[in-house]
Structure 1
């Protein structure tokens, strides 16, 4: 009789651990970047950011045996532009990284729309069941969002100090993205397809 509550709490613990691991993978490198930059400057922060990014991808592979496409693309650009930043001792390159990533995602999404193959449907079709019009609208919204984020990054790093840009990158971009994603829930509900359910 006493074993049943323990069995019920195990899935909850597994779910909490999964959420914590995903937060660590997503936020860990940014927090390392912020902390090391505050203590030792942008170049030390860039090196720590690169190392933390590699570690986070390794952790994702170890836990899930796969690495999501978007974090992988972002990591490649972090290593490329971070390497240029350290080699040339010019922090412009690491500041350009978010602009390049957001612009690449926007171009990819718009190209998929032009080819009548929404990229989001290819990536998230197994998870979300939307109509064709729903996928088109959702893809267009995310493309516009990524363009806006690229412009925002350019504005911040060109008009504010390096420390301000690092703080905004660590604590601004992710909450904005999360809020935008949550704002798309009504659209996904409106254009969602009901799943077929068997009599069983």
Structure 2
């Protein structure tokens, strides 16, 4: 399926909608418990059970609209299904809280492996949007790899040492703000290593 143009706000709504829905649902249900087949579930686990199919549906819609999914979107969906499923099946919210750690650690390993080979795997998925020379891509990839390591560590520290309410706020608002702030600070690097369209590698 060829890639299609989709309005940015539609793409953002599909990507952030399930996360915001989880946050709102958690705020409304965090003090409640639900009994299903004799098993007692917290509001957190109940919202996880709703979040997994909601994310799967939004990802499917995004794929149908755009004609493509990034590697991060695919891996995120897989890990959400796996860790969300374990949370629901075992009635243990710790598995879902581990999910961001697994996502960031996995991508840090993949990008780090590429760096050791002298390659930027980040360029493979973002090269058409950010035309830069090889040195620029290697520097940006190293910085993002370190960012992923830091986020994985931060997620572990927060979910293991703070309340569920704090972790949900961190996951919903803290992580996106950090990612946005990080890319805002990379403008100098992008400008220094930008290449003109006439100099771009056709491959």
> Shorter-normalised TM-score: what interval?
0.7 to 0.9
Query: Which residue of structure 1 aligns with residue 144 of structure 2?
Result: 142
Runs of 4+ that moved beyond 2 A: none
Query: Which residue of structure 2 aligns with residue 5 of structure 1?
Result: none
Distance 1:130 1:75 in 2: 29
Distance 1:127 1:37 in 2: 36
Distance 2:101 2:163 in 1: 17
Distance 1:73 1:65 in 2: 17
Query: Which residue of structure 1 aligns with residue 49 of structure 2?
Result: 47
1:18 to 7, 30, 33: 7
**Higher share of residues assigned helix:** 1
Query: Does the aligned pair in 2 maintain the 1:36–1:48 contact within 8 Å?
Result: no
**Pairing of 1:171-182 with structure 2 (within 5 A):** 171-182=173-184
2:186 to 172, 184, 187: 184
1:102 to 104, 113, 125: 104
Query: Which residue of structure 2 aligns with residue 160 of structure 1?
Result: 162
Q: How many residues align?
A: 182
Query: Which residue of structure 1 aligns with residue 22 of structure 2?
Result: 33
- Alpha-carbon deviations, 1:172-196, whole Å to 9, x = none? 1111111111111210110111221
**Pairing of 1:59-70 with structure 2 (within 5 A):** 59-70=61-72
2:78 to 76, 82, 86: 76
- Alpha-carbon deviations, 1:44-78, whole Å to 9, x = none? 11112102211110120121121222111111100
1:92 to 69, 91, 94: 94
- Alpha-carbon deviations, 1:2-50, whole Å to 9, x = none? xxxxxxxxxxxxx9x7122122122111111112222231101111210
> What stretches of structure 2 of length at least 5 have no aligned partner?
30-42
> What stretches of structure 1 of length at least 5 have no aligned partner?
1-14
Q: CA RMSD in A?
A: 1.5
Q: TM-score, normalization: structure 2?
A: 0.85
Give SS of 2:89's match. helix
Q: TM-score, normalization: structure 1?
A: 0.86
Q: Greater CA radius of gyration, 1 or 2?
A: 1
